[in-house]
Structure 1
């Protein structure tokens, strides 16, 4: 088998793994809010439900055992298989019975699912950074973002339709099966079982501190923290917002879940190509500008009570900006991981990414209940304008 074919198959495997990891989270944090809204949950309650995903903030802690001292340091394949199966088991527990009226049980199991999914994400992407060539990292970021968008189709569209047609249990069993298949396919990957450098691992507190002192990290981490959460918040509340604007639930699932996910996936592919051709100095401000324009258009459409066709067009614009921005962020995250510490460095970046991704929707939910959807979207647009200014200032110093 030629190296090109081998790398292509590896990219396809990591695409499937990221899809299998993404779909449950999308269903819990983006699809399920539509069901919760139908059962009378307020915007604040839905925002607070996001706190169940807090384990994602501590991803750097979960990365530490993977890069620990010893002969099994960096044995990412074994960690991947075990954690994928644990995630599948928790999804089966979530689907054991309907939990819409058992809020604390739903919250606890959702938090356990977030923990398992967060932990599994670390070795999956550390393994990708290790075995994929550096020239393929922009595409790997694009493929991961495409998986996020296809996960939006699966978790935010098809799984909602499966729940509507076959009941509460069906989506969780389907997603657990996808994770189990991913675990089986991962066994076919040759990882080497440990860090190929052969060097002993340093105490992890030292490289953790050192990462934040790197000039590249100091330029990159503020952008990573702010690029996605505002466009991501609009994507998070898009389904409840369209539902509140009078669109029927099935139509919202198809438009925001399926069509929006497809648009986001296409935008991810375009973004990955643009990042390779333009470089981060140009690509980052362009993506920040796209997020600002998309948010401003949706805010205006909601504030002016635009007809459904305009709302749908603006919603698809949000999906495109979300998919493109996610591809950009994931591609650059791979470029800011040090050899031999892929899990730790990826975990640090992902923790920063996740913290703002959680806090922004919570603040947006409070603003939604206090001032309404138009003001919430206007505030997100204003914040994204600040991100654009930051990108124009700091992006030229980034590397790919």
Structure 2
């Protein structure tokens, strides 16, 4: 029997880039741009940090991931989900939204639900399309494209909003999301493999998820993710409100996080993927984690009144570069810790841990910022990021959680 034509490597990479960017586009507006608007409206850092709860779908997406695996095709799911995101943006463009309204926060939750569900499908597709040797490339695309989408949403769309209104901004968002649908139309999925055997459902499926989460090594990896990301997320959650409080205009923040942040993040994704492949997980994780903590030190200096706007531009460049590198190294470790026979399940669980840690770190950052001020909050987050990075390396040197981690670690 003749095999159906397969996607070329360029088509696969274009598809994955578009899908990961589509996840970050609305999320970028709501996490980078919306805090600026709320801060200008007088919201406290603590109140802004509690918007993290609207990202709940990212933390619990593993609960419906099996349904996406067992029913329909990835192409059909992606078309529906991308279409839903585009339609939601079009609908919002016709509403008279008010900053801080229930309708706006409902929209944030809806976009998070759509994007988190799309992420499950996209991750599964990436596992099937790319072979083991391309794992670093997959992580670079995942982190770089998602970060690009976030910065376009938080930079370009903020710039558009500053010069127009909600309606024009959401129309532009809908147009960008529509572009990402095009590569899905030409997707030709690999044929189903032996993996399509009877799978548990109902309560048995829930128990299976618990079993995967509690199997040897997984709780330890979850704890290491917390150590590596908590301080980073404390600082990251405060950066955009800090820029606003420094008196930067929305247009300046848009340029800083859009044009400059976009370029440095893409460069960081490429370097991070190359570094992870070239020097191994251990060196990549250690170097990028400590470099990220060093970059946060620039924000401490800025909060102490040093350097002026020039230092803020420098900090943006450094943070965009090394922050993406650190994410690539961490995600590669998460793939190493995922059982190949249950890759989608394990990786989705670990990705949910990343989201939970991000939310906790964001809330802690907001509380510390309100209680202590920016400089002490940045300092605490920076120290936690550096110590957490060193601890992760120290622990894995002595207690590799899985045989696959041990093989990739050196």
Do these two structures clear the TM 0.5 threshold for a shared fold by scoring above it?
yes
Cα RMSD over matched residues? 2.5
Bigger mean CA deviation after superposition, 388-397 or 359-368 = 388-397
Q: 1:11 aligns with which of 7, 13, 18?
A: 13
Q: Partners of 2:333 and 2:7 in 1: how far apart?
A: 24
- Give the aligned partner of residue 162 of structure 2: 164
When residues 91 and 338 of structure 1 are mapped into structure 2, their CA distance, relative to the original with a 3 A threshold, is farther
- Give the aligned partner of residue 117 of structure 2: 119
- Indicate if the aligned counterparts of 2:14 and 2:183 stay in contact, CA closer than 8 A: no
Q: 1:182 aligns with which of 174, 180, 183?
A: 180
Q: Partners of 2:233 and 2:6 in 1: how far apart?
A: 34
- Give the aligned partner of residue 351 of structure 1: 352
Q: Partners of 1:171 and 1:126 in 2: how far apart?
A: 31
Q: 2:24 aligns with which of 22, 25, 28?
A: 22
- Give the aligned partner of residue 382 of structure 1: 383
- Give the aligned partner of residue 270 of structure 2: 269
When residues 57 and 238 of structure 1 are mapped into structure 2, their CA distance, relative to the original with a 3 A threshold, is same
When residues 209 and 239 of structure 1 are mapped into structure 2, their CA distance, relative to the original with a 3 A threshold, is closer
In the TM superposition, what whole-angstrom CA distance separates every residue of 1:133-152 from its partner, at most 9, and x where no partner exists? 11111111111211123223
Q: Partners of 1:82 and 1:93 in 2: how far apart?
A: 16
Once the two structures are TM-superposed, the CA of residue 305 in structure 1 deviates from its matched residue by 3.7
When residues 232 and 169 of structure 1 are mapped into structure 2, their CA distance, relative to the original with a 3 A threshold, is farther
- Give the aligned partner of residue 53 of structure 1: 55
- Give the aligned partner of residue 299 of structure 1: 300
SS at match of 2:288: helix
- Indicate if the aligned counterparts of 1:285 and 1:395 stay in contact, CA closer than 8 A: no
Once the two structures are TM-superposed, the CA of residue 355 in structure 1 deviates from its matched residue by 0.4
Q: Partners of 1:114 and 1:132 in 2: how far apart?
A: 26
Once the two structures are TM-superposed, the CA of residue 362 in structure 1 deviates from its matched residue by 1.4
- Indicate if the aligned counterparts of 1:77 and 1:193 stay in contact, CA closer than 8 A: no
Bigger mean CA deviation after superposition, 271-280 or 206-215 = 206-215
Bigger mean CA deviation after superposition, 219-228 or 115-124 = 219-228
Once the two structures are TM-superposed, the CA of residue 386 in structure 1 deviates from its matched residue by 2.5
- Give the aligned partner of residue 322 of structure 2: 321
SS at match of 2:8: helix
- Indicate if the aligned counterparts of 1:60 and 1:346 stay in contact, CA closer than 8 A: no
In the TM superposition, what whole-angstrom CA distance separates every residue of 1:113-149 from its partner, at most 9, and x where no partner exists? 1111111111011111111111111111111211123
Bigger mean CA deviation after superposition, 137-146 or 193-202 = 193-202
Q: Which ranges of structure 2 fall in alignment gaps of 5 or more residues? A: none
Q: Partners of 2:29 and 2:193 in 1: how far apart?
A: 35
- Indicate if the aligned counterparts of 2:7 and 2:187 stay in contact, CA closer than 8 A: no
- Give the aligned partner of residue 245 of structure 1: 246
- Indicate if the aligned counterparts of 1:66 and 1:123 stay in contact, CA closer than 8 A: yes
- Give the aligned partner of residue 332 of structure 2: 331
Once the two structures are TM-superposed, the CA of residue 373 in structure 1 deviates from its matched residue by 0.6
- Indicate if the aligned counterparts of 2:144 and 2:269 stay in contact, CA closer than 8 A: yes
Q: 2:68 aligns with which of 66, 69, 92?
A: 66
SS at match of 2:48: helix
Bigger mean CA deviation after superposition, 20-29 or 86-95 = 86-95
SS at match of 1:247: coil
- Indicate if the aligned counterparts of 2:61 and 2:117 stay in contact, CA closer than 8 A: yes
Q: Partners of 1:311 and 1:342 in 2: how far apart?
A: 40
SS at match of 1:228: helix
In the TM superposition, what whole-angstrom CA distance separates every residue of 1:7-34 from its partner, at most 9, and x where no partner exists? 2320121011111111110111112211
Once the two structures are TM-superposed, the CA of residue 200 in structure 1 deviates from its matched residue by 2.5
SS at match of 1:237: helix
TM-score using structure 2 length: 0.88
- Give the aligned partner of residue 372 of structure 1: 373
When residues 381 and 90 of structure 1 are mapped into structure 2, their CA distance, relative to the original with a 3 A threshold, is same
- Give the aligned partner of residue 100 of structure 1: 98
The 5-angstrom pairing of residues 166-245 of structure 1 reads: 166-192=164-190, 194=192, 196-202=194-200, 203-205=204-206, 207-245=208-246
When residues 181 and 374 of structure 1 are mapped into structure 2, their CA distance, relative to the original with a 3 A threshold, is same
Once the two structures are TM-superposed, the CA of residue 5 in structure 1 deviates from its matched residue by 8.3
Q: Partners of 1:64 and 1:290 in 2: how far apart?
A: 38
- Indicate if the aligned counterparts of 1:33 and 1:46 stay in contact, CA closer than 8 A: yes
Q: Partners of 1:96 and 1:225 in 2: how far apart?
A: 41
When residues 271 and 168 of structure 1 are mapped into structure 2, their CA distance, relative to the original with a 3 A threshold, is same
Q: Partners of 1:32 and 1:101 in 2: how far apart?
A: 9
